[in-house]
Amino acid sequence: MTRHRAPPDSAVSIEVEIPFHDVDLLQVAWHGHYSKYLELARTSLLRSRRLDAADMLALGYRFYVTESHIRHVFPLRYAELLRVSAWFHDVENRLDIAYDLFNLTHGRRCAQASTLLVTTTAEGTLCLATPDPLLERLRAAGPGQAP
């Protein structure tokens, strides 16, 4: 479920210029590309905690997206600038990440979103709680601070 609030100061943000290959004939960004923008911000957020793909492999765990929700409220068009902010809403049993997508060109929020990620072992066994080695990194002080 999306969260209808502004990103906290601890959020990690990226900026993207909407490329021509992301727009339709009306030069509006196709809604399916928003998931890609979330992925870019989520990767930056996880990297800020040393939990990028290579880090996860080394620790013997994997993250999998199990749910995504996006609420669109204003369009993105070709060549406009987008800021995507991501932060942890919860990390105990699964990673609940919230997003704010802001159209910098028009100074307006264009979407809010959330994703849920579960953790598995390298062998694919579902972890019912976020493992301690991951929690240590998730709770480290810094951008995207976990609750």
Mean pLDDT of 120-137: 96
Does residue 143 fall inside a structural domain?
no
pLDDT band at 125; cut points 50, 70, 90: very high
Does residue 147 fall inside a structural domain?
no
Residue 144 CA from chain centroid, whole number:
10
Does residue 51 fall inside a structural domain?
yes
What pTM does this model have?
0.91
Domain that residue 62 falls in: 12-138
Mean pLDDT of 78-82: 97
User: Which residue type is seen at 18?
Assistant: I
Domain count, the chain: 1
Separation CA 68–CA 66 (nearest Å): 7
Token couple for 120: 């598995």
Start-to-end C-alpha separation, the chain: 18
**Residue 74's CATH number:** 3.10.129.10
Does residue 49 fall inside a structural domain?
yes
